[in-house]
Structures are given as C-alpha cells and as structure tokens.
Amino acid sequence: MKEEEIDFSIVTVCYNSIRTIERTIKSVISQTYKNYEYIIIDGNSNDGTVEVIEKYRDFIDIIVSEPDNGIYDAFNKGINLAKGRFISILNADDTYNPNTLQLVLETAKNHPNALIYGDTYFIDDNDVVFSSNIGKFDPTQLKSGLGFMHPATFVAKSVYDKVGLYAVSKELSIASDAYFLLKCYTQGISFVKSDVKVFMRTGGLSEVSFYKAHRQYLTALKNHNLINDKEFQTESFKLTFKGTLKKFFTRKSVANIKLQLWIIVIALFNFIYKILLFNRLKKGFFRLFGFKIGKHTHIHNSTFLSLGKFSIGDHSVINPKCVIDNRGTITIGDKVSIAHYCKIYTTGHDINCSYFTGTKKPVTIKDHVVLFSSCIIQPGVTIGEGAVVFPGAVVVEDVPAYALVGGNPAKVIGERNSNLNYKIDYGFKFIK
C-alpha cells in the first residue's frame, strides 16, 4: 500500500500487559474500516505479552519490542514509524468499538488537519462501565480539564509535524499527553468532536496516579499562561482535598455513590410533586428545578426520570401514570394531549457497542399532537403538528404533521383534519 493511501495509523504501546493486550488487539483488527496500519511498540516485556502479540503478527504491520525511556518515548517511536493521515494511540488496556475508524473518517472528511476527539468510558475488571468522560472542549474551562481524554483522540499527522512530539521529561512523567494537547490548542489546532467511544480499563498509569497527573497538567497550564498564580493555587488546593478523599474512595466507589444519591433525589422529587394538591404549587415546584410549564397546562401524577430538560407549552395535559424520561431534552408544544400510561424515552442503549453504553437523543412533540394511552415514543423522534398516535403504538421514527399512526413499529394509517381550533384545560377546578 502506498504511503499516501493509508488513512489511519493505530499505535499501541505496552509493557507487561499480558492480561489486556489481546483484547486491545482484537478491537483494532475487528474494525469495519480497513484502510489502516497497526503498530505495536512493546517495552521489552517479559511476562508473555510478546508471545500474545506474535499470535496476531499477520494483522500487525510493525512490531517493535525493545527497552524505552517510558510511555511517551514509546508514543514517539510509534509516531515516527506511522504513515497514516491520522494517528491514534491506543494503550494496551484500552479498546475501540468496531465502527470507530469509520466514524472518525466521516468527521475527518471536513477536517483534514484537525485533532478529532470522542468520549471515554471507564471499565472495571468485571467489564462494567461505571463512569465516563463525555464532554466538549471549552477553552474557558481549561483549569477543570480539556473536556476529553487523550486515548479518545485521532491526530492528523500534519499536527505532529507542526506541534512536535511528546515531551519525555521527569516534570511531565505522566501528563505529557495533556501537555501535548495544550500545545495543540495554543498553536491554533482545531479540536473537533466526533461520535467515537473509547473504553479505558481502570488501573493504568494515569488512573493510579491521577492526582499527580492533574497537578502536572495544572503546572502546564500555568507555564502556558492559561491560568494565573491565584488560579493555580486555588486549583492545587482543590486537588489536594480531592487527593485526600481518594485515599478513602476509589473512582468507581465515587461514581456509585453519586448514582445512588441521584436516584434518591429523583425519587424524592417525584414523591413531593405528586403530593402537592394545587396545580399552581406543582408548577412552581417544577419551575424550581428548571422545568418550563405553559399556561393552563396540567401535569398529573406521572413519573419523571431527571430534573429539568423539559418544556411544555400552553393548554396541554399529561395524564396520570405516564413515564417521562427527561434525562435527555423533551420539548412539547401547545394543546398537546398525552393520555394515561404513555412513555416518552430520550435514552437507551447502543446494542452494537462493545460495552452496551447508553445513548441519548431529544424528543420533540409539536402543537395539537394527541398521544392515546399506552403508546411509547422512542429517543430522537419528532412528532409533527396535529399528529395522532393510537393506543399501544411504538413510535421509532419521525411522524409527519397530521398523520394518524398505529402499530409496532408505528406506521401511517390515515390523515387527520388540519382545521383544529380546540384548547385543552384538563385541570381539576377546585385545585387550580
């Protein structure tokens, strides 16, 4: 294959990684997009890692096994050997989904000289996703982090040509990757978000020494004049406090505690709003938590799965026993009638993802829509103005305006009159 024809160079660095290296290799060679080269840089492992790598020699373009000066020296070796237009560094305890390169390619078509990044999910030893880094790069929030992690990056080779390689130094012993990303930012490299998911098993270098790495990152921010002395001192104090807590709580335990507390908060929210007798009190309670509720609109005793991210217009009604999954955004228009036992979902799971990660898509329900009882609205759906969903229907795709739909999955079975003049006011008069 000619040099200019290679789209991706994937570099895996490892040292005594017999427990995880095979899964990493399999995640690369199972890519649906095949125009890539695979390079493995091993630090002269002596635990059987090299023997595992040799099993897959036919799928690996370059194998180097020799002593190095640390992980960033290994990174640089791989980059110097790479011929692809984009280079990714996949550590020996990290994995990709099979469609990763395909997703990056779609983004790279419009951003040939960018740094493309995605989301990182943390996996425990039982192959359970317990936390994630799902964010977006925001230069105003650099002191809190970049908004993404280095293993989820795909860097144009032209970026390395401009910015240089990874620093190999004691001062950046476990944060040279973050330092490199900061150099990219200060030198005007574009950071572009993709739908890529990368899975990082806990226990790696940065996991074990997370707070030391973040302190090195703060020092890099200061050296780049991206934070001042006062901000550096404040963030360092916060880091020391978090480091103390780290002695008692692992990242996984903190994630579990946060989840349980959030579940309790949502349960209390639903309990309180349901016992409020007057609609005016209910509306005030909703608005206190970021809900937007229109005039003459009534939400009877249904169940919400989050706080906020929900708006409903005027003269609409949600009848009792509905499930409203507002973990993603739900937007409902005016004069909308939602009957008993309906379920509106904005979240689900990616069934093709190696680790069954969650998905989130907004739902929009426009004016004069009618949802009859027990229908289910799936994530990402828009229901057009005046449309009607019949009882028990499962809506998995957008519904045209004034269409009548029914069935599983819901199909168009008729058309509704578009001359609609009614308003809805289904509150109880004595508790208005």
Q: What is the pLDDT of residues 301-325, one digit of tens each?
A: 999 999 999 999 999 999 999 999 9
Q: Are 28 and 38 spatial neighbours (Cβ–Cβ below 8 Å)?
A: yes
> Taking the domain 3-229, which CATH number applies?
3.90.550.10
Distance CA 64, CA 365 (A): 56
Among 426, 305, 280, 412, which Cα is nearest to 363's? 305
End-to-end CA distance of the chain: 74
Distance CA 77, CA 64 (A): 9
CATH 3.90.550.10 region(s) of the chain? Answer: 3-229
What pLDDT does 430 receive?
A: 42
Beta bridge partners of 348: 359
Structure tokens of 274? 């349901």
> Taking the domain 277-431, which CATH number applies?
2.160.10.10
Q: Please write the tens of the pLDDT for every residue from 247-304.
A: 677 778 888 889 999 999 999 999 999 999 888 899 999 999 999 999 999 999 999 9
**Token pair 């809805």 in the structure block, residue:** 424
Among 77, 82, 80, 101, which Cα is nearest to 28's? 101
For the chain, which ranges sit under pLDDT 50? 1-3, 204-208, 429-432
**Cβ neighbours for 353, distance < 8 A, ≥ 6 positions apart:** 97, 197
- Centroid of chain to Cα 190: 20
CATH 2.160.10.10 region(s) of the chain? Answer: 277-431
What pLDDT does 209 receive?
A: 66
Question: How far is CA 136 from each of CA 144, 194, 213, 239, rounded to the nearest angstrom?
Answer: 12, 10, 20, 22
- The string of DSSP letters for 368-387 reads T-EE-TT-EE-TT-EE-TT-
The angle subtended at Cα 229 by Cα 228 and Cα 235, nearest 5°, is 90
Identify the active-site residue in 298, 300, 340, 349: 349
Structure tokens of 326? 């507002």
Q: Are 409 and 389 spatial neighbours (Cβ–Cβ below 8 Å)?
A: no
- Whether the link from the prior residue into 409 is cis, omega within 30° of 0, is yes
Distance CA 103, CA 350 (A): 15
Q: Is 224 a catalytic residue?
A: no
Q: Please write the tens of the pLDDT for every residue from 169-199.
A: 888 888 899 999 999 999 999 999 999 999 9
- Centroid of chain to Cα 236: 27
The angle subtended at Cα 330 by Cα 326 and Cα 333, nearest 5°, is 145
Average pLDDT of the residues of the chain:
92
Count of positions (residues) in the chain: 432
Question: How far is CA 86 from each of CA 5, 95, 315, rounded to the nearest angstrom?
Answer: 11, 18, 53
- Centroid of chain to Cα 378: 19
